[in-house]
Structure 1
Amino acid sequence: ICIGALALGPVNLKGRSFLTLKDFNSDEIKHLLWVAGDLKHRIKHEKQYLPLLQGKSIAMIFEKRSTRTRMSTETGFSLLGGHPCFLTSQDIHLGVNESSTDTARVLSGLSDIVLARVYSHTTLEELVKDASIPIINGLSDLYHPIQILADFLTLQEHYGSLSGLTVSWIGDGNNVLHSFMMTAAKLGVHLRVATPKGYDPDSSIIQEAQRLSKQHGTQFLLTSDPVEAARGSNVLVTDTWVSMGQEEEKKQRIKDFLGYQITMQTGSVAKPDWTFLHCLPRKQEEVDDQVFYSPRSLVFPEAENRKWTIMVN
Structure 2
Amino acid sequence: MTTTTPNSHFIDLKDIPAETLRHILDTGRKWKEARRHLPKGAVDEGAPLAGHALAMIFEKSSTRTRISFEMAMKQLGGEAIILQGGNMQLGRGETIADTARVISRYVDAIMIRANTHEAVVELAEEGSVPVINALTDHSHPCQIMADMMTIEEHRGPVKGKKLAWLGDGNNVATSLIEAAVKFDFTLMLGCPEQFAPYEDVLDWAEREGGDIHVVTDPEAAVWDADAIFTDTWVSMGDDRTGNRVKALEAYRVDDALMAKAADDALFL
- TM class by shorter chain equals over 0.9
Instruction: Tell me the distance in 2 between the aligned counterparts of 1:80 and 1:34.
Output: 16
- Aligned equivalents of 2:87, 2:108: Cα separation in 1: 19
TM-score of the superposed pair, with normalisation by structure 2? 0.93
- State whether residues 162 and 186 of structure 2, in contact with CA within 8 Å, keep that contact through their aligned partners in structure 1: yes
- Provide the rounded CA distance (Å) in 1 between the counterparts of 2:99 and 2:250: 45
> Is 1:120 paired with 2:113?
no
Task: Say if 2:58 and 2:84, in contact at 8 Å, map to a contact too.
Answer: yes
Provide closer, same or farther for how the CA distance between residues 265 and 93 of structure 1 changes in structure 2, counting only shifts above 3 A.
farther
* Secondary structure at 2:219 match in 1: helix
Shift of 1:185: 2.5
Could you tell me how far apart the structure 2 residues matched to 1:235 and 1:26 are? 21
Structure 1 contact 26–187 (Cα < 8 Å) conserved: yes
Give the number of equivalent residue pairs.
260
User: By how many angstroms is 1:184 displaced?
Assistant: 1.3
Q: Which amino acid aligns with 1:263?
A: D
Equivalence for 1:144 = 140
In the TM superposition, residue 50 of structure 1 has moved relative to its aligned partner by 3.3
1:258 pairs with 2:254: no
What percentage of residue pairs aligned between the two structures are identical?
35
SS in 2 for 1:116: strand
Q: 2:17 aligns with which of 22, 25, 47?
A: 25
Partner of 2:30: 38
Code of the aligned partner of 1:89:
G
Residue number in structure 1 paired with 2:192: 196
Cα distance in 1 between the residues matched to 2:51 and 2:152: 32
**Take 1:142 and 1:228, find their aligned partners in 2: how far apart are those partners?**
26
Q: Which runs of structure 2 are paired with 1:153-164 in the superposition (5 Å)?
A: 153-164=149-160
Aligned residue in 2 for 1:211: 207
Q: Which residue of 2 is the match for residue 66 of structure 1?
A: 62
Give the letter for the 1:276 counterpart.
F
Structure 1: any 5+ residue segments left out of the alignment? 1-12, 278-313
Deviation at 1:256, TM superposition (A): 1.1
2:178 and 2:92 map into 1 onto residues whose CA distance is 32
The alpha carbon displacement at 1:46 in A equals 6.5
User: Which of 221, 227, 234 matches 1:229?
Assistant: 221
- Residue number in structure 1 paired with 2:261: 270
Q: Is the 8 A contact 1:50 1:79 kept in 2?
A: no
3-state SS in 2 of match to 1:262: coil
Mapped contact 1:178–1:205 kept (Cα < 8 A): yes
Deviation at 1:130, TM superposition (A): 0.8
SS in 2 for 1:90: helix
- Partner Cα distance (1:148, 1:93) in 2: 31
